[in-house]
């Protein structure tokens, strides 16, 4: 039987007794050990705020091509800003998506922002949304410390002042279903995330799929994509999809899984037609919006497997790695 994405009610951790918190941490541990992904509910970010953020996101991507180009990311903007369609490349495959990335808008970091006349209130709204996600990230990191029975609940938070967290508004334009299905056009190629945890909000069009690691013993992204069954992670209002990044996998000596995922044609778009019929019609796959919040440790952090995750049966698999240098190297490949 294949795996299923579990749903975890975080309100038990946020407001429950010590026992409730322990139980929730145990659920998180089980989810991250097995599937590497879970749906989070009871997280405290209300749906109206998420809907408003999708509205803002739509407005930025609706700006003219020229207006968006003025917001383009440069090395001097620390990768913050607009990236046009095809600017992100994963293993040689150009992703048909556009994104607008920012760090904490209240910090004095460089970044390009739409001006007030174009998008009134955008920067303030972005700051508030980013802050809500950063606070939730802090609570989740606390929960991870409980799950691993670490000395104190700050064990992960002490390395996450928030300076490196990135919010990413993402838009996949409508594309020909035929071209998407044939692989001529790719929305988001199979990949895994880089940092600690990722929070993902999905609007109503799906397409996100996660490799079912119980269906393969392969490890490399290319082999996993070829061999594994994939599980659809359908959009469900009120939920946030949470998954493990590479650095957290290293921190936990592989206890928590950094799982391959991708964005493809949404399953429900083809469910009413045979594939031949839909190819003949050359229908369009509707546009998709998502918002990712990438949790990342502070740049100077040395990430090394925690003692408590190593044993004679599970010897230490990795040495120390500098989080900031790792990120720079990876992003250079993604956006070269």
Ligand X SMILES: O=C(O)CCC(=O)C(=O)O
Q: CA nearest 301: which of 195, 159, 176?
A: 159
Determine, following the binding rule CB under 6 A, whether residue 200 of this chain makes contact with ligand X: yes
Residues making up the chain, counted from first to last: 336
Residue 186 or 208: which CB sits closer to ligand X?
208
Among 169, 292, 323, 327, binds ligand X (CB under 6 A): 292
Determine, following the binding rule CB under 6 A, whether residue 248 of this chain makes contact with ligand X: no
Determine, following the binding rule CB under 6 A, whether residue 119 of this chain makes contact with ligand X: no
Q: How far apart are CA 197 and CA 43, in angstroms?
A: 15
| Least distance CB 120 / ligand X (angstroms) | 27
Q: CA nearest 135: which of 9, 29, 248, 44?
A: 44
**Bridge partners, residue 159, by sequence:** none
Residue 31 or 241: which CB sits closer to ligand X?
241
Record the tokens describing residue 60, joined without a space: 């930025």
Q: How far apart are CA 123 and CA 244, in angstroms?
A: 28
Determine, following the binding rule CB under 6 A, whether residue 261 of this chain makes contact with ligand X: yes
Among 290, 297, 309, 327, binds ligand X (CB under 6 A): 290
**Bridge partners, residue 298, by sequence:** none
Residue 12 or 261: which CB sits closer to ligand X?
261
Residue 32 or 263: which CB sits closer to ligand X?
263
**Bridge partners, residue 39, by sequence:** 7, 241
Among 185, 242, 263, 323, binds ligand X (CB under 6 A): 263
| Least distance CB 307 / ligand X (angstroms) | 30
Choose the stretch contacting ligand X; rule: CB under 6 A; options: 57-65, 115-123, 200-208, 209-217: 200-208
Residue 57 or 188: which CB sits closer to ligand X?
188
Q: Which residue is nearest to ligand X (CB)?
A: 290
Alpha helices in the chain (DSSP H): 11-15, 18-34, 47-61, 65-69, 122-147, 177-182, 221-227, 246-251, 267-270, 275-281, 323-334
Residue 157 or 243: which CB sits closer to ligand X?
243
Determine, following the binding rule CB under 6 A, whether residue 98 of this chain makes contact with ligand X: no
The CA dihedral of 227, 228, 229, 234, to the nearest 10 degrees, is -130
Name which of residues 175 to 194 contact ligand X (CB under 6 A).
188, 193
Residues of the chain by 3-state class (helix, strand, coil), percent to 5: 35, 20, 45
Q: How far apart are CA 144 and CA 137, in angstroms?
A: 10
Residue 169 or 309: which CB sits closer to ligand X?
169
Determine, following the binding rule CB under 6 A, whether residue 240 of this chain makes contact with ligand X: no
Determine, following the binding rule CB under 6 A, whether residue 68 of this chain makes contact with ligand X: no
| Least distance CB 224 / ligand X (angstroms) | 15
Quick check: 301 and 159 in contact, CB under 8 A? yes
Determine, following the binding rule CB under 6 A, whether residue 170 of this chain makes contact with ligand X: yes
Q: How far apart are CA 65 and CA 205, in angstroms?
A: 24
Residue 28 or 260: which CB sits closer to ligand X?
260
Determine, following the binding rule CB under 6 A, whether residue 208 of this chain makes contact with ligand X: yes
Site residues, ligand X (CB under 6 A): 170, 188, 193, 200, 202, 208, 261, 263, 290, 292
């Amino acid at each position: 039987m294949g795996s299923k994405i579990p749903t975890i009610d975080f309100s038990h951790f946020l407001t429950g007794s010590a026992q409730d918190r322990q139980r929730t941490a145990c659920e998180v541990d089980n989810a991250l050990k097995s599937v590497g992904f879970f749906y989070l509910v009871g997280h405290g970010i209300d749906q109206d705020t998420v809907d408003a953020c999708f509205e803002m996101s739509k407005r930025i991507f609706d700006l003219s091509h020229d207006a968006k180009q003025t917001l383009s990311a440069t090395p001097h903007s620390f990768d913050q800003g607009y990236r046009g369609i095809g600017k992100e490349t994963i293993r040689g495959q150009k992703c048909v998506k556009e994104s607008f990335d920012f760090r904490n808008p209240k910090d004095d970091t460089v970044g390009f922002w739409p001006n007030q006349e174009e998008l009134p209130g955008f920067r303030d709204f972005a700051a508030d949304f980013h802050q809500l996600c950063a606070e939730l990230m802090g609570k989740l990191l606390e929960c991870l410390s409980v799950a691993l029975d670490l000395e104190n609940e700050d064990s992960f938070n002490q390395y996450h002042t928030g300076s490196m967290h990135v919010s990413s508004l993402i838009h996949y334009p409508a594309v020909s279903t035929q071209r998407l299905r044939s692989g001529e056009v790719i929305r988001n190629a199979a990949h895994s995330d880089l940092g600690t945890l990722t929070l993902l909000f999905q609007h109503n069009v799906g397409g996100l799929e996660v490799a079912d690691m119980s269906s393969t013993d392969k490890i490399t992204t290319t082999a996993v994509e070829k061999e594994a069954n994939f599980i659809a992670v359908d959009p469900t209002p009120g939920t946030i999809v949470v998954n493990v990044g590479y650095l957290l996998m290293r921190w936990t000596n592989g206890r928590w899984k950094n799982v391959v995922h991708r964005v493809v044609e949404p399953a429900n778009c083809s469910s009413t037609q045979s594939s031949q019929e839909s190819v003949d019609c050359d229908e369009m796959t509707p546009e998709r919006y998502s918002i990712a919040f990438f949790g990342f440790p502070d740049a100077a952090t040395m990430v090394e497997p925690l003692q408590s995750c190593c044993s004679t049966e599970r010897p230490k698999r990795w040495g120390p790695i500098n989080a900031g240098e790792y990120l720079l190297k990876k992003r250079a490949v993604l956006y070269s």
